[in-house]
Amino acid sequence: MRKPEPSVKNNSKLRKGLWSPEEDDKLMNYMLNNGQGCWSDVARNAGLQRCGKSCRLRWINYLRPDLKRGAFSPQEEELIIHLHSLLGNRWSQIAARLPGRTDNEIKNFWNSTIKKRLKNLSSTNTSSPNASESSISEPKDLNMGRFISTHDHQKGFMPVLNSSSLSMQATVLTNIIDRLPLLEHGLNMPAAGGFFNVTGPCFTESGVDNNGFYLENGVLGSVNIGPEGDLLVPSATDNPKVEIASNRDTNNSYFDIINKNHRAENNRGGVENLFQDQELTVGEWDLEDLMKDVSSFPFLDFSS
């Protein structure tokens, strides 16, 4: 690896480049004794000639005691691939579901290893009639697990809900994401603890009136399935669970958006005009592939 660089930024005494063992010791000792505070204070008080940002990065990506070092296990790898198919390049969201792994680590792993593998795989698959059987897929290239998303991806995402499989797709997403541990926020487990049963091509509830539903901005909501398999999405204000679980802004509740648009869809028929005023990018969700894919996870048990 690179040797620590003694470089000093022009007009500044702040060091850049690799961290020396001494700097690591200083930061580690300070963090263990004082805990996390204002990062610029950390840099100053720990006697480091680094900017706070650099200290934060070093701590989060390297020094944190709970970090898992070493290669990714096949299970982690598979989980990353599937989370990426659901979340895209939201590395922090993916990292939040992988204990001891950082977003930077996962991002590097993806860009260096998985991306390459996917590329090789897709090039070999083009000549194979069973290309879709691969457990590895990338939404961008292979058309799987795509979502409606806002252009500003910080604002969130929703699964694409077409008119015929609106509730099914939302249900599948709920099942998938709810069963992945969300380490950062701890909001992933549905309060009611219930999941849908899978009975053939449709989904029914298992005696539970709602299920946790994740949004990318950390909001936990719920979905109900109506008597005809239609999706009934309460607004955040109607649903105390949303309010309890939310630790971020819910002003632009997607449940409200879905409700509104679902109603609009019923009135107009078709989904072409949905989300129009949200500047959304519309994709499709290959449900069959997704179901086939997620079934390979032992912890994604759809039968309960």
Q: Which stretch binds DNA (CB under 7 A): 38-46, 75-83, 254-262, 276-284?
A: 38-46
For position 39 contacting DNA by CB under 7 A, the verdict is: yes
Contact 17, 5 (CB under 8 A): yes
- Check residue 138 for interaction with DNA (CB under 7 A): no
For residue 17, the tally of other CB atoms under 10 A from its CB is: 14
- Closest approach, Cβ 188 to DNA, in A, equals 15
For the CA atoms of the chain, what is the radius of gyration?
22
Taking the complex as a whole, how short is the minimal distance between the CB of residue 52 and DNA, in angstroms? 4
- Read off the amino acid at residue 19: W
d(CA 185, CA 181): 10
64 vs 268 by CB, closer to DNA: 64
Report the nearest approach of DNA to the CB of residue 133 (Å): 25
Nearer to DNA, 23 or 289 (CB): 23
Closest CB to DNA among residues 18, 264: 18
140 binds DNA (CB under 7 A): no
Closest CA to 166 of 295, 265, 241: 265
Give CA–CA dist 242/214, Å, rounded: 10
* Interface with DNA, residue 1, by CB under 7 A: yes
Considering the complex, what minimum distance in angstroms separates the CB of residue 285 from DNA? Answer: 21
124 binds DNA (CB under 7 A): no
The string of DSSP letters for 59-84 reads IIIII-TTPPPSPPPHHHHHHHHHHH
Q: Return left, alpha or beta for 269; rule: phi > 0 is left, psi -120 to 50 is alpha, else beta.
A: left
- Shortest Å distance, C-beta 45 to DNA: 12
User: Which residues, including other chains, have CB under 8 Å from residue 100's CB and lie 6 or more apart?
Assistant: 66, 67, 68
Choose which of 29, 34, 112, 266 interacts with DNA (CB under 7 A).
112
Binding of DNA by 252 (CB under 7 A) = no
State how far Cα 287 lies from the chain centre: 18
Residue 69 CB, nearest approach to DNA (Å): 8
Distance in Å from the first CA to the final CA of the chain: 48
13 binds DNA (CB under 7 A): no
Residues 183-242 that bind DNA (CB under 7 A): none
As a whole number of angstroms, the distance between CA 296 and CA 304 comes to 16
Nearer to DNA (CB atom), residue 231 or residue 242:
242
Binding window for DNA (CB under 7 A); candidates: 77-85, 89-97, 232-240, 284-292: 89-97
Q: Which residues bind DNA (CB under 7 A)?
A: 1-3, 15-19, 37-40, 52-54, 56-58, 61-62, 71, 89-93, 103-105, 107-109, 111-113, 116, 152, 154-155, 249
